[in-house]
A and B are shown apart, each in its own frame.
Chain A
Amino acid sequence: MMEIDNATFIQAESEIAAINMVLGASMAGARAMTSSSSPGISLKQEGISFLAAQELPAVIVNCMRGGPGLGNIAPSQGDYFQATRGGGHGDYRSIVLAPATGQELADFTARAFDLADRYRSPVVLLIDGMMGQMMEPVIPPDFVNVADIPYKNWILDGARDRPSRIIKSLILDPAKEEEHNWKLYRKYENITKELQITEAYQVDDARLVVMAYGTAARIAKGAIKRVREIGLKVGLLRPLTLWPFPARAVEDASRFVKEFLVFEMNTGQMVEDVRLALKHRSEVHFYGRPGGVVSTPDEIAKVITSLYYRLHLEEEQ
């Protein structure tokens, strides 16, 4: 890592220091990232709030583990709320991407930097301990030509031939802070319009749609392959952006599907966004395994099958 040309790598003394080094590097115009797993991400929240407030691009990887507290180091999805609701203090959002494979991890990391620059916002890659320890072949994404990166006319690199600049988030006048909050809000509205990504798998004829992201989505896909073999019409709708939540795709699916099953590696977090998106037009069921337990595709296949028959979805309507 330290050997990449034109790149700097610092092993920081703490997560707080790391996120603030990222903040400094971002101020200076660099593309900067930091990574940790759940407890460390809690420590980074102060800095993420400052990044959002100062509109600084940065990429943060959260390799989620079992929690709360020290929890364990097994794969979990317990930090969905923290990531998608801002996480730190104040009224802000971070873009949250949910890759599920090694290839997507590589592609999304590159994409995260582009999105961070484009929207001048922190971008969170929300993955888990399963992906963090997995090895898969990857075709590396093409390196971006530095000249193609949009010119940043706001960075701090010394006021040599221009007026001096300030990057700050202290806005003592409530009216101006309100203005700043609305400005951020308009940006978030824009992102919500422009950036909702999902993958649909066998949803066209589905009577039951499973919604899951990341590792849970891979497990669900395996389960769906199994239940399709016995003729169950089940599909997968996988959000690749968790914030903005792909409400449009969920709404579209609800025109044809009346039953949704949300599967998460937690006690039910994304399911709230699914319910909000469905506005009670369809039924939402939930299955979750928190604490670092990783379900097998067989287990999820059983859950799907039992729900499918319980709802009499096999009967012709």
Chain B
Amino acid sequence: MTKSVFQRPKYLKNVPFHYCPGCGHSIIHRLIAEVIEELDIGGITIGVPPAGCAVLAYDYFDVDMGEAAHGRGCAVATGIKRILPDRIVFSYQGDGDIAAIGTAETIHAANRGENITVIFVNNSCYGMTGGQMAPTTVLGQKTTTTPGGRTAPMHGTPIDLSQMIALARGSVYIERTSVHSVRHILKTKKALMKAFTAQMNGKGFSLVEILSPCPTNWKLSPVEAFAHIEKEITKTFPLKVIKDEIDANRQGSP
């Protein structure tokens, strides 16, 4: 008699991921699906996929999914949540999506305290379009649009969107994690669990920023890309709980 010890999470469809070898999206998709299953919210969850590599997220998550234009995830999620406040709404966005074109929508959703959860996957470049510099690209990083490496005088410095969101009074929980090792993958799952739970309890805006490897555009092997996060990316984007006011006594979100 065999015992199943590892299987596909209930809320991931039985289709292979299209992501590149060593990409973090598939790990993150799995973590979210596990959290949805463990919190037993699959039947009341609505996800908003982004434009970018994860645009096809609706083909993987077995929950209701509604596509947003590039950067508009938080506005679309706001619309859904305001109509269906007892459902769980999450927006899944990359750094090019959330930290460039969608900055305004994200900051204002956070500032209004929209009771939604945002998964912000940061691979420090525009992955789908060929690895151009994103606002999150770290100094020195070579991309197709910064072939000599990003420099502050020429390209500005990397934006720390999570810190900005933490300043918004309506945000209650912001944590930056990574998926470059098993330990960090487990920590990421905990953070996701906390963020979704905060929403279930009506606490307000929660966001988990997840540093994610992009071996294809970083021109590294998957193993090297994991090491690159540990050695380089975390210098600019340190892993930490940036804000936790889940239990603070505050006025309710809309």
Residues of A whose CB lies within 8 Å of any CB of B are: 8, 10, 12-14, 16-18, 20-30, 32, 46-47, 50, 54, 156-161, 164-170
Write the nearest CB–CB distance from A32 to chain B, whole angstroms. Answer: 7
Which 8 pairs from chain A and chain B are nearest by CB? Answer: A24-B79, A160-B43, A20-B75, A24-B76, A28-B83, A168-B67, A25-B79, A21-B79
Q: Are A27 and B66 in contact (CB under 8 A)?
A: yes
A26, A158, A160: the one contacting B79 at CB < 8 Å is A26
- By secondary structure, the B interface counts as helix
Bound Cα distance A10, B65 (Å): 23
Given the known inter-chain contacts A13-B105, A158-B87, A170-B67, please indicate yes or no for A164 contacting B62, CB distance below 8 A: yes
> Residue B77 at the A interface, CB < 8 A?
yes
For window 40-80 of B, CB contacts with A under 8 Å fall at 42-46, 48-49, 55-56, 58-59, 61-69, 72, 75-80
B72 lies within 8 A of A27 (CB): no
Provide the residues of chain B in CB contact with A18, threshold 8 Å.
Answer: 75
How far, in Å, is B45 (CB) from chain A's closest CB?
6
Contact B79 A50 (CB under 8 A): no
Query: A166–B58 Cα gap in the complex (Å)?
Result: 7
For the complex, give the distance between the alpha carbons of A168 and B56 in Å.
Answer: 10
Task: Please determine whether B105 and A164 come into contact, CB atoms closer than 8 angstroms.
Answer: no
Which residue of the partner chain A has the closest CB to B63? A164
For chain B residues 3-54, which have a beta carbon within 8 Å of chain A?
42-46, 48-49
Could you tell me the distance between the alpha carbons of A159 and B81 in the complex, rounded to whole angstroms?
A: 15
A13-B104, A159-B43 known; A29 vs B83 contact (CB < 8 Å): yes
A100-B83 Cα distance, complex, nearest whole Å: 32
A21, A32, A167: the one within 8 Å of B75 (CB): A21
User: A24-B76, A24-B80, A160-B43 are contacts. A165–B108 as well, Cβ < 8 Å?
Assistant: no
Q: Which residues of A contact B58 (CB under 8 A)?
A: 166, 168
Interface centre among A24, A46, A156, A169 (most CB of B within 10 A): A24
Partner of A27, one of B56, B59, B76: B76
- 27 example contacts (A-B, Cβ-Cβ < 8 A) are as follows A8-B82, A10-B82, A13-B104, A14-B105, A21-B82, A23-B68, A24-B76, A24-B82, A28-B79, A156-B46, A156-B66, A156-B80, A157-B64, A157-B84, A158-B43, A158-B44, A158-B63, A158-B87, A164-B62, A165-B64, A166-B59, A166-B66, A167-B65, A168-B67, A170-B55, A170-B56, A170-B67
| Chain A residues near B44 (CB-CB < 8 A) | 158, 160
C-alpha spacing A239/B158, complex, angstroms = 54
Task: Return chain A residues, CB-CB under 8 Å to B42.
Answer: 159
Alpha-carbon gap, A26 to B108, bound state (A): 20
Whether the Cβ atoms of B63 and A27 lie closer than 8 Å is no
> A10-B112, A20-B76 given. 7 additional CB < 8 A pairs?
A17-B108, A20-B75, A24-B79, A24-B83, A29-B83, A157-B84, A166-B65
Q: How many A-B residue pairs have CB under 8 A?
A: 128
Taking a contact as CB atoms under 8 Å apart, the answer to whether A20 and B69 are in contact is yes
Residue of B45, B69, B80 most packed against chain A (CB within 10 A): B80
Contact B64 A156 (CB under 8 A): yes
Cross-interface CB contact of A25 among B43, B45, B83, cutoff 8 Å = B83
Q: Which B residues have a C-beta under 8 Å from some C-beta of A?
A: 42-46, 48-49, 55-56, 58-59, 61-69, 72, 75-84, 87, 104-105, 108, 112
CB distance from A44 to the nearest CB of B (A): 11
Chain A residues in 8 Å Cβ range of B112: 10
B76 touches A169 (CB 8 A): no
Chain B residue with minimal CB distance to A156? B64
Q: Tell me the smallest distance from the CB of A254 to a CB of chain B, in Å.
A: 43
Given the interface contacts A29-B83, A158-B44, does A16 sit within 8 Å of B75 by beta carbon?
yes
Name A170's closest neighbour in chain B (CB-CB). B55
Q: For B87, list chain A residues within 8 Å (CB).
A: 157-158
Query: A54: which B residues are within 8 A, CB to CB?
Result: 67
Residue of B whose beta carbon sits closest to that of A11: B112
Cβ contact of B64, chosen from A22, A23, A50, A158, cutoff 8 A? A158
Q: How far is the CB of A110 from chain B (nearest CB, A)?
A: 20
Say whether A46 contacts B75, CB under 8 Å. Answer: no
In the bound complex, residues from chain A placing their C-beta under 8 Å from that of B80 are 24-25, 27-28, 156
Q: Is the CB of B43 within 8 A of A8?
A: no
Task: Report yes or no: B43 in contact with A24, Cβ–Cβ below 8 A.
Answer: no
